[in-house]
Amino acid sequence: MTSVIVLRDVRPLGGDPRDLVLAQGVVAAVTPPGGGELTGVVADAAEGAAGGTRRGPLVVDGRDLIALPGLVDLHTHLREPGREDAETVESGTRAAALGGYTTVFAMANTDPVADTAGVVEQVWRLGQDAGHCDVRPVGAVTRGLAGTQLAELGAMASSAAAVRVFSDDGHCVSDALLMRRALEYVKAFDGVVAQHAEEPRLTVGAQMNEGATAARLGLPGWPAVAEEAIIARDALLAGHVGSRLHICHVSTAGSVDIIRWAKAKGWQVTAEVTPHHLLLTEELVASYDPVFKVNPPLRTKADTEALRAGLADGTIDCVATDHAPHASEDKETEWAAARPGMLGLETALSVVIQTMVATGHLGWADVAERMAFAPARIGGVTDTVPDPTGFAQVGAPATLTLLDPQASRVIDPHALASRSGNTPYRGRNLPGLIRATFLRGRPTVLDGKIV
Ligand SMILES: [Zn+2]
């Protein structure tokens, strides 16, 4: 693979067209389209990259393509080790690259659980071997996700995987004292605790959002207050101990209000929303198709509107996929027996375009902030995705993705890279296509296909 790449006529963050030269992992030159000096720069870069031997650069026609920073997902389930039938690090990161991602944070609810240095290093190495994007393992907060004893947070932080994000996701750290201890502990290495906010006593047997629709369908409800009570408690704890708290998959209008209040207090509270909670509502449950079963559950139209407004005004910092592949025997079954969770990596940007860009809530620079710069700051990976002012400037990491905003596609589960097929968007026509993705100057996707 040639190590010098010229991106012709791309629009960084949707702005004016530029030619970018990528060499040796960084942006080596930026000029107006067809800039006269580009030829010489390319030749120099090619010479340097090839150690003196001239090689032709790879030229990508970027007309009408928007260059965004490589996307960063704080919330991915890669299922390895333990459920390689549903997803592997290799297949999940392939899906990530095709979706424009260059970093994913792999959740800890694997088998065995990622609660020791050994397991997080295993996942990290699998990511390096696959090479499609950076994999940053999330460490469990409690041993075995059992919620009773703190896991080896320090050992995971100082391991080769350098864990900075800790979460029992799938389970709530419901014990207030354990949550306080975890928040105190991670301060030593600027870590963050990412909470799956669900008061477990309020959601026993829950099958969908609590409300009139659940009553009509005869399904036990998952009340908004079960999420909001934990967010309020943990925001107070984070403020009390001066630590960083991140709220996973915010799903209710009330949660947005509480996070807005916590931020106004000056506390270090950040939050994410999933694409499916921005677009889909509880009405879909009436089909009893388990592809729409997810935790937290799909909520009401009023909730999706509050989540969009919260993401637009920055109360919600970022979009995270909660990509949750499930094998068909766990998903294509009766509603009550089906596992909660949906695929998300290959459709996230498209759903954000539909819900946030096409509706006028966000521009392209805002999308870059919500899907790359902010999650990079929260997860501590600013070495790869540095900051908005440096993006596509000379010397910046050549970690970016090229989006065709005019193209669209009908989602076919069989055409996705994931090993599982549980996408809730089957048959939907979604806007936007990723044409290419680059990780530190190396293409991981070209012409919409894995390299
Ligand atoms: Zn969760």
CA distance 179 to 398: 38
> Among 47-61, 176-190, 242-256, whose mean pLDDT is lowest?
47-61
Q: What is the pLDDT confidence band of residue 161, given thresholds at 50, 70 and 90?
A: very high
Q: What share of the chain is helix, strand, coil (3-state, %, to 5)?
A: 35, 20, 40
In angstroms, what is the span from residue 133 Cα to ligand 1's centroid? 22
- Residue 153 in this model has a pLDDT that exceeds 70: yes
Q: How far is the CA of 90 from the centre of ligand 1 (A)?
A: 22
Cα of 180 vs centre of ligand 1, distance in Å, is 19
Q: Stretch 371-375: mean pLDDT, rounded?
A: 98
Token representation of residue 201: 């006593």
Cβ(103)–Cβ(133) under 8 Å? yes
Three-class HEC string of 419-451: CCCCCCCCCCEEEEEEEEEEECCEEEEECCEEC
Is 195 in contact with 230 (CB distance < 8 Å)? yes
What is the tens place of the pLDDT at every residue in 277-323?
Answer: 999 999 999 999 999 999 999 999 999 999 999 999 999 999 999 99
Query: Could you report the per-residue pLDDT of 126-151, keeping only the tens digit for each?
Result: 999 999 999 999 999 999 999 999 99
Long-range contacts of 128-132 (CB under 8 A, 24+ apart): 129/89, 129/90, 130/89, 130/90, 130/93, 130/94, 131/444, 132/90, 132/93, 132/94, 132/96, 132/97, 132/439, 132/444, 132/450
Query: How buried is residue 52: exposed, middle or buried, by Cβ count under 10 Å (0-12/13-18/19+)?
Result: exposed
Mean pLDDT score, 6-13 = 97
Helices marked H in 161-300 — which ranges?
176-186, 212-217, 224-241, 253-264, 275-279
Catalytic member of 73, 134, 169, 322: 322
Question: From residue 436, how far is each of 105, 195, 370 by CA, in Å?
Answer: 21, 33, 20
Rg (CA), the chain: 21
Cis peptide before 112 (omega within 30 of 0): yes
Alpha helices by DSSP H, listed for 34-88, are 38-49
Which pLDDT value is given to residue 43? 61
pLDDT value at 350 more than 90: yes
Q: How far apart are the CA of 171 and the centre of ligand 1, in A?
A: 7
**What is the model's pLDDT at position 55?**
63
Q: Are 179 and 145 in contact (CB under 8 A)?
A: no
pLDDT digits (tens, 9 = 90+) for 43-98: 666 565 555 555 678 999 999 999 999 999 999 999 999 999 999 999 999 999 99
**Cα 247 to middle of ligand 1, angstroms:** 10
- For residue 418, name the pLDDT band (cuts at 50, 70, 90): very high
322: annotated active-site residue: yes
Work out the mean pLDDT of the chain and round it to a whole number: 95
pLDDT at 38: 61
Query: Nearest 5°: CA angle at 424, between 332 and 302?
Result: 125
Cα of 406 to ligand 1 centre, how many Å?
Answer: 33
The per-residue pLDDT for 3 is 83
